[in-house]
Structure 1
Amino acid sequence: MMSAVAPANAGLAALGSTELQGLAAVVNLLAQAGGLDALLGNRQSEPGDKRLHIGYSEAAERLNIPEKWLRERISTLPHRKFGKFVQFAEEDLRAISDMHFVSPGMAAEKERESALMSLQPSKRSRKRF
Protein backbone atom coordinates (compact mmCIF):
# COMPACT_ATOMS: atom_id res chain seq x y z
CA MET A 1 0.00 0.00 0.00
CA MET A 2 1.38 3.39 -1.04
CA SER A 3 1.30 6.30 1.41
CA ALA A 4 -0.57 9.47 0.41
CA VAL A 5 2.41 11.68 1.27
CA ALA A 6 5.89 11.09 -0.10
CA PRO A 7 8.85 11.23 2.32
CA ALA A 8 10.53 14.62 2.64
CA ASN A 9 13.79 13.38 1.13
CA ALA A 10 12.10 11.86 -1.96
CA GLY A 11 12.36 13.77 -5.24
CA LEU A 12 9.52 14.63 -7.62
CA ALA A 13 10.26 11.44 -9.55
CA ALA A 14 9.15 9.38 -6.55
CA LEU A 15 5.70 11.00 -6.57
CA GLY A 16 2.87 9.27 -8.37
CA SER A 17 0.38 10.99 -10.68
CA THR A 18 -2.15 11.47 -7.86
CA GLU A 19 0.44 13.14 -5.66
CA LEU A 20 1.60 15.37 -8.53
CA GLN A 21 -1.98 16.45 -9.21
CA GLY A 22 -2.43 17.27 -5.53
CA LEU A 23 0.84 19.19 -5.47
CA ALA A 24 -0.20 21.11 -8.58
CA ALA A 25 -3.51 22.01 -6.92
CA VAL A 26 -1.73 23.27 -3.79
CA VAL A 27 0.73 25.34 -5.85
CA ASN A 28 -2.19 26.80 -7.82
CA LEU A 29 -4.01 27.77 -4.61
CA LEU A 30 -0.86 29.36 -3.21
CA ALA A 31 -0.40 31.36 -6.40
CA GLN A 32 -3.98 32.63 -6.19
CA ALA A 33 -3.59 33.57 -2.51
CA GLY A 34 -0.39 35.53 -3.10
CA GLY A 35 2.14 32.95 -2.00
CA LEU A 36 2.95 31.05 1.15
CA ASP A 37 4.51 34.07 2.89
CA ALA A 38 1.30 36.08 2.48
CA LEU A 39 -0.75 33.19 3.85
CA LEU A 40 1.51 32.79 6.87
CA GLY A 41 1.65 36.52 7.52
CA ASN A 42 5.45 36.67 7.23
CA ARG A 43 5.30 39.44 4.68
CA GLN A 44 3.17 42.52 4.52
CA SER A 45 1.01 42.32 1.44
CA GLU A 46 1.25 45.48 -0.58
CA PRO A 47 -2.03 46.97 -1.76
CA GLY A 48 -2.21 47.14 -5.53
CA ASP A 49 -4.00 50.48 -5.40
CA LYS A 50 -2.22 53.30 -3.60
CA ARG A 51 -4.71 56.05 -4.45
CA LEU A 52 -5.59 58.42 -1.64
CA HIS A 53 -9.13 59.11 -2.89
CA ILE A 54 -11.74 57.25 -4.94
CA GLY A 55 -14.72 58.39 -6.98
CA TYR A 56 -18.45 57.74 -6.77
CA SER A 57 -18.46 54.40 -8.58
CA GLU A 58 -15.74 52.72 -6.51
CA ALA A 59 -17.08 54.21 -3.25
CA ALA A 60 -20.53 52.84 -4.04
CA GLU A 61 -19.03 49.47 -4.89
CA ARG A 62 -17.04 49.33 -1.65
CA LEU A 63 -20.10 50.34 0.40
CA ASN A 64 -22.21 47.86 -1.57
CA ILE A 65 -24.83 50.48 -2.42
CA PRO A 66 -26.05 52.03 -5.69
CA GLU A 67 -24.01 54.95 -7.00
CA LYS A 68 -27.25 56.89 -7.45
CA TRP A 69 -27.89 56.67 -3.68
CA LEU A 70 -24.52 58.33 -3.00
CA ARG A 71 -25.08 61.05 -5.59
CA GLU A 72 -28.56 61.90 -4.27
CA ARG A 73 -27.36 62.24 -0.65
CA ILE A 74 -23.91 63.76 -1.17
CA SER A 75 -24.82 66.98 0.67
CA THR A 76 -25.36 64.98 3.88
CA LEU A 77 -22.38 62.62 3.56
CA PRO A 78 -18.68 63.12 4.38
CA HIS A 79 -16.59 63.56 1.24
CA ARG A 80 -13.76 65.56 -0.34
CA LYS A 81 -14.30 68.18 -3.01
CA PHE A 82 -11.67 69.20 -5.57
CA GLY A 83 -13.40 71.85 -7.60
CA LYS A 84 -16.36 70.05 -9.11
CA PHE A 85 -14.88 66.60 -8.45
CA VAL A 86 -16.24 64.63 -5.50
CA GLN A 87 -13.87 62.10 -3.96
CA PHE A 88 -13.96 59.82 -0.94
CA ALA A 89 -11.14 58.89 1.42
CA GLU A 90 -11.09 55.72 3.53
CA GLU A 91 -12.21 57.72 6.59
CA ASP A 92 -15.18 59.07 4.62
CA LEU A 93 -16.34 55.58 3.71
CA ARG A 94 -16.05 54.44 7.34
CA ALA A 95 -17.95 57.54 8.53
CA ILE A 96 -20.74 56.93 6.00
CA SER A 97 -21.00 53.34 7.18
CA ASP A 98 -21.04 54.41 10.84
CA MET A 99 -23.74 57.03 10.14
CA HIS A 100 -26.09 54.25 9.07
CA PHE A 101 -25.43 51.85 11.94
CA VAL A 102 -28.66 50.40 13.33
CA SER A 103 -28.97 48.84 16.76
CA PRO A 104 -32.28 47.21 17.79
CA GLY A 105 -32.18 48.86 21.22
CA MET A 106 -31.84 52.31 19.70
CA ALA A 107 -35.28 52.12 18.02
CA ALA A 108 -37.18 52.02 21.32
CA GLU A 109 -35.08 54.88 22.69
CA LYS A 110 -35.77 57.03 19.61
CA GLU A 111 -39.51 56.35 19.90
CA ARG A 112 -39.51 57.52 23.53
CA GLU A 113 -37.45 60.55 22.58
CA SER A 114 -39.78 61.52 19.71
CA ALA A 115 -42.84 61.14 21.95
CA LEU A 116 -41.34 63.61 24.40
CA MET A 117 -40.56 66.19 21.73
CA SER A 118 -43.22 68.84 21.28
CA LEU A 119 -44.79 69.49 17.93
CA GLN A 120 -43.23 72.35 16.05
CA PRO A 121 -44.68 74.17 13.06
CA SER A 122 -43.08 73.59 9.70
CA LYS A 123 -40.58 76.17 8.51
CA ARG A 124 -41.92 75.79 5.01
CA SER A 125 -44.41 78.46 4.01
CA ARG A 126 -47.58 77.68 2.12
CA LYS A 127 -48.52 79.42 -1.05
CA ARG A 128 -51.61 81.51 -0.60
CA PHE A 129 -53.98 82.21 -3.43
Structure 2
Amino acid sequence: MMSAVASANAGTPALGPNELQGLAAVMSLLAQAGGIDALLGNRQSEHRDKRLHIGYSEAAERLNIPEKWLRERISTLPHRKFGKFVQFTEEDLRAISDMHFVNPGMTAEREHESALMTLQPSKRSRKRF
Protein backbone atom coordinates (compact mmCIF):
# COMPACT_ATOMS: atom_id res chain seq x y z
CA MET A 1 0.00 0.00 0.00
CA MET A 2 2.86 2.34 0.80
CA SER A 3 4.44 1.60 -2.58
CA ALA A 4 1.24 2.67 -4.35
CA VAL A 5 1.20 5.95 -2.40
CA ALA A 6 4.88 6.47 -3.09
CA SER A 7 4.49 5.79 -6.82
CA ALA A 8 1.44 8.10 -6.97
CA ASN A 9 3.46 10.84 -5.35
CA ALA A 10 6.32 10.22 -7.74
CA GLY A 11 4.19 11.57 -10.62
CA THR A 12 4.06 8.50 -12.87
CA PRO A 13 2.17 5.64 -11.30
CA ALA A 14 2.91 2.19 -12.61
CA LEU A 15 -0.02 0.67 -14.49
CA GLY A 16 -0.62 -3.02 -14.39
CA PRO A 17 -2.03 -5.14 -17.22
CA ASN A 18 -5.62 -4.77 -15.96
CA GLU A 19 -5.40 -0.99 -15.81
CA LEU A 20 -3.88 -0.86 -19.30
CA GLN A 21 -6.68 -3.05 -20.68
CA GLY A 22 -9.29 -0.81 -19.07
CA LEU A 23 -7.64 2.31 -20.45
CA ALA A 24 -7.48 0.76 -23.92
CA ALA A 25 -11.19 -0.11 -23.72
CA VAL A 26 -12.09 3.45 -22.71
CA MET A 27 -9.97 4.91 -25.53
CA SER A 28 -11.62 2.54 -28.02
CA LEU A 29 -15.11 3.59 -26.88
CA LEU A 30 -14.17 7.25 -27.14
CA ALA A 31 -12.88 6.74 -30.67
CA GLN A 32 -16.08 4.92 -31.71
CA ALA A 33 -18.30 7.61 -30.19
CA GLY A 34 -16.42 10.44 -31.86
CA GLY A 35 -14.68 11.80 -28.80
CA ILE A 36 -15.68 13.06 -25.39
CA ASP A 37 -17.75 15.93 -26.84
CA ALA A 38 -20.04 13.47 -28.62
CA LEU A 39 -20.48 11.45 -25.43
CA LEU A 40 -21.36 14.58 -23.47
CA GLY A 41 -23.80 15.75 -26.12
CA ASN A 42 -21.82 18.86 -27.05
CA ARG A 43 -21.77 17.92 -30.71
CA GLN A 44 -24.53 16.92 -33.09
CA SER A 45 -23.59 13.69 -34.75
CA GLU A 46 -26.15 13.51 -37.56
CA HIS A 47 -26.10 15.67 -40.67
CA ARG A 48 -29.85 16.35 -40.69
CA ASP A 49 -29.67 17.84 -37.19
CA LYS A 50 -27.35 20.56 -38.48
CA ARG A 51 -29.83 21.74 -41.13
CA LEU A 52 -32.32 24.40 -40.16
CA HIS A 53 -35.06 23.27 -42.58
CA ILE A 54 -36.11 20.00 -44.22
CA GLY A 55 -38.45 19.28 -47.13
CA TYR A 56 -41.61 17.23 -47.55
CA SER A 57 -39.94 13.85 -48.05
CA GLU A 58 -37.73 13.96 -44.97
CA ALA A 59 -40.48 15.52 -42.82
CA ALA A 60 -42.83 12.71 -43.82
CA GLU A 61 -40.13 10.15 -43.08
CA ARG A 62 -39.41 11.67 -39.66
CA LEU A 63 -43.13 11.74 -38.81
CA ASN A 64 -43.55 8.22 -40.21
CA ILE A 65 -46.43 9.27 -42.47
CA PRO A 66 -46.95 9.36 -46.25
CA GLU A 67 -45.63 12.46 -48.00
CA LYS A 68 -49.01 12.77 -49.76
CA TRP A 69 -50.72 13.22 -46.39
CA LEU A 70 -48.48 16.20 -45.62
CA ARG A 71 -48.99 17.76 -49.03
CA GLU A 72 -52.79 17.42 -48.86
CA ARG A 73 -53.02 19.07 -45.43
CA ILE A 74 -50.26 21.68 -45.69
CA SER A 75 -52.69 24.59 -45.33
CA THR A 76 -53.58 23.41 -41.81
CA LEU A 77 -50.07 22.44 -40.66
CA PRO A 78 -47.21 24.55 -39.27
CA HIS A 79 -44.48 25.09 -41.88
CA ARG A 80 -42.16 27.66 -43.47
CA LYS A 81 -42.53 28.94 -46.99
CA PHE A 82 -39.69 30.32 -49.10
CA GLY A 83 -41.37 31.38 -52.30
CA LYS A 84 -42.87 28.18 -53.64
CA PHE A 85 -40.71 25.96 -51.42
CA VAL A 86 -42.30 24.45 -48.32
CA GLN A 87 -39.90 23.64 -45.50
CA PHE A 88 -40.25 22.32 -41.95
CA THR A 89 -38.25 22.98 -38.79
CA GLU A 90 -37.84 20.70 -35.80
CA GLU A 91 -40.43 22.81 -33.95
CA ASP A 92 -42.88 22.44 -36.86
CA LEU A 93 -42.57 18.65 -36.76
CA ARG A 94 -43.16 18.61 -33.01
CA ALA A 95 -46.18 20.91 -33.38
CA ILE A 96 -47.65 18.67 -36.10
CA SER A 97 -47.17 15.66 -33.86
CA ASP A 98 -48.74 17.45 -30.89
CA MET A 99 -51.72 18.54 -33.01
CA HIS A 100 -52.61 14.90 -33.55
CA PHE A 101 -52.14 13.69 -29.97
CA VAL A 102 -54.95 11.37 -28.88
CA ASN A 103 -55.65 10.41 -25.29
CA PRO A 104 -58.77 8.20 -25.19
CA GLY A 105 -59.31 8.71 -21.43
CA MET A 106 -59.54 12.48 -21.87
CA THR A 107 -62.32 12.22 -24.48
CA ALA A 108 -64.93 11.16 -21.93
CA GLU A 109 -63.97 14.02 -19.60
CA ARG A 110 -64.17 16.58 -22.42
CA GLU A 111 -67.61 15.33 -23.47
CA HIS A 112 -68.78 15.55 -19.86
CA GLU A 113 -67.40 19.10 -19.54
CA SER A 114 -68.99 20.18 -22.82
CA ALA A 115 -72.34 18.75 -21.70
CA LEU A 116 -72.11 20.80 -18.50
CA MET A 117 -71.22 23.89 -20.48
CA THR A 118 -74.47 23.62 -22.46
CA LEU A 119 -76.49 23.58 -19.24
CA GLN A 120 -75.06 26.81 -17.85
CA PRO A 121 -77.30 29.87 -18.01
CA SER A 122 -76.50 32.67 -20.40
CA LYS A 123 -74.53 35.63 -19.10
CA ARG A 124 -76.66 38.06 -21.09
CA SER A 125 -79.15 40.01 -19.06
CA ARG A 126 -82.82 40.08 -19.94
CA LYS A 127 -84.86 43.18 -20.19
CA ARG A 128 -87.77 43.01 -17.82
CA PHE A 129 -90.94 45.01 -18.41
| Alignment TM-score, normalising by the size of structure 2 | 0.57
Q: Name the CA distance, whole Å, in 2 between partners of 1:95 and 1:57.
A: 17
Runs of 4+ with deviation above 6 angstroms: 22-25
Partner of 2:75: 75
Change (3 A) 1:32 1:56: farther
Change (3 A) 1:109 1:85: same
Q: Name the CA distance, whole Å, in 2 between partners of 1:57 and 1:24.
A: 43
* Structure number with bigger Rg: 2
Q: How many residues align?
A: 104
After superposition, the C-alpha distances for 1:29-67 in whole angstroms (9 at most, x for unaligned) are 4333222343245xx114545322110111112222222
Determine if the alignment matches structure 1 residue 45 to structure 2 residue 43.
yes
The percent of aligned pairs where both chains have the same amino acid is 76
Q: Name the CA distance, whole Å, in 1 between partners of 2:77 and 2:86.
A: 11
RMSD, aligned CA: 3.4
Q: Name the CA distance, whole Å, in 2 between partners of 1:31 and 1:111.
A: 56
Partner of 2:104: 104
Unaligned 5+ segments in structure 1 are 1-7, 118-129
| Alignment TM-score, normalising by the size of structure 1 | 0.57
Instruction: Specify which structure has the higher proportion of helix.
Output: 2
Unaligned 5+ segments in structure 2 are 1-11, 119-129
